[in-house]
Amino acid sequence: MKRVPLGSTGVDVSQLCLGTMMFGDRTDEAEAGRIVDLALGSGVDFFDTAAVYAGGKTEEILGRLLKGRRDRVFLATKVNVGNGSEYPAQIAASLEASLQRLQTDRVDLFLLHWARADMDPPAIMAELAKVVRAGKARFIGCCNFPAWTFAHFNAVATSIGAPKLINNQLPYNLIERGIEVEILPQAVAEKIAITCYRPLMAGVLAGKYIPGQPAPADARATTDERIPKWLAENAGGVTHLLNLAKAKGVPPSHVAIAWLKSRVGVTCPIIGVSKLAQLQDAIAAFSLELTADEQQALAASFATEVKEVSQFYGPLRRSYSLLKK
């Protein structure tokens, strides 16, 4: 597995980040163990989890599975709150509980799970600084932060002498492309690590569904009303994806992942799996490379780029060339 630099940290991690959200939910401990074994045996050492996954069971399972081999993994977890005003009081307590479940004395990356209303950046950054200085988290970051919010939090960190956020975890795929506006250019300019969840858009980009055809009886689309909507709205793009995959002799999921991992500014796709076979398939996908023309044509076929009226300002928000290199 290819290794990539994690932003400005000086640390390299596997390009595939293993998402563990299904451990303790759809994935029992035995299957989770097989997944972890395959990941480590394949050079995948970046693992992502969170305190809220399966009510804490995910972290508990991961802690047991990593016992005796914790040092082989770059481990990320998250703190989540309902209102931003709760973050300062919950940061240390949440991390301490996570460390107990994970059976470790530190995590490598500790993330604020969501941007919430009523956040107090100085108080939050001060509390995050404490867990870093106590050696309980090597680095800190966030999930789902707009570019301006990320920049503001780091400006506050500088003003109070606290460590900066080094990672922003966000949804990104051929259908969800909002981070192309400002967030990816910001990441390149400031060497921010960008990790991307939902790479296959709940199976819509995996070849599981065919536009114009009924979904399989046991498919998630039969209970998740978003999936038929996404499929209908992006039928042309999905058809292009299926045809390109067929021409290359690979599953559509490989093409979708290859497109994502090649995007400028993207550090790691997060591949969440519930079955060993899914991870086997994902690992194979990381060996596929698309040409620049194939990437461009594929993205254009979805027509999901954020639309703006201004022909001048819009491109500036996506530009990687405004600053001298």
Per annotation, catalytic residue among 53, 87, 172, 197: 53
Pairing of strands 165-171, 193-197: parallel
Give the H/E segment covering residue 156: helix 147-160
DSSP calls for 160-229: HTPPPEEEEEEE-SSS--GGGTTHHHHHHHHT-EEEEE-TTGGGTTTTS--TTSPPPTTSGGGT-THHHH
Q: How far apart are CA 219 and CA 93, in angstroms?
A: 39
Contact assessment for residue 279 and residue 273, using Cβ atoms and an 8 Å cutoff: yes
Tokens found for residue 295: 């990437």
According to DSSP, residue 68 is labeled T
Q: How far apart are CA 288 and CA 25, in angstroms?
A: 30
End-to-end CA distance of the chain: 29
**Residue 53 a catalytic site member:** yes
Active-site residues: which are they? 53
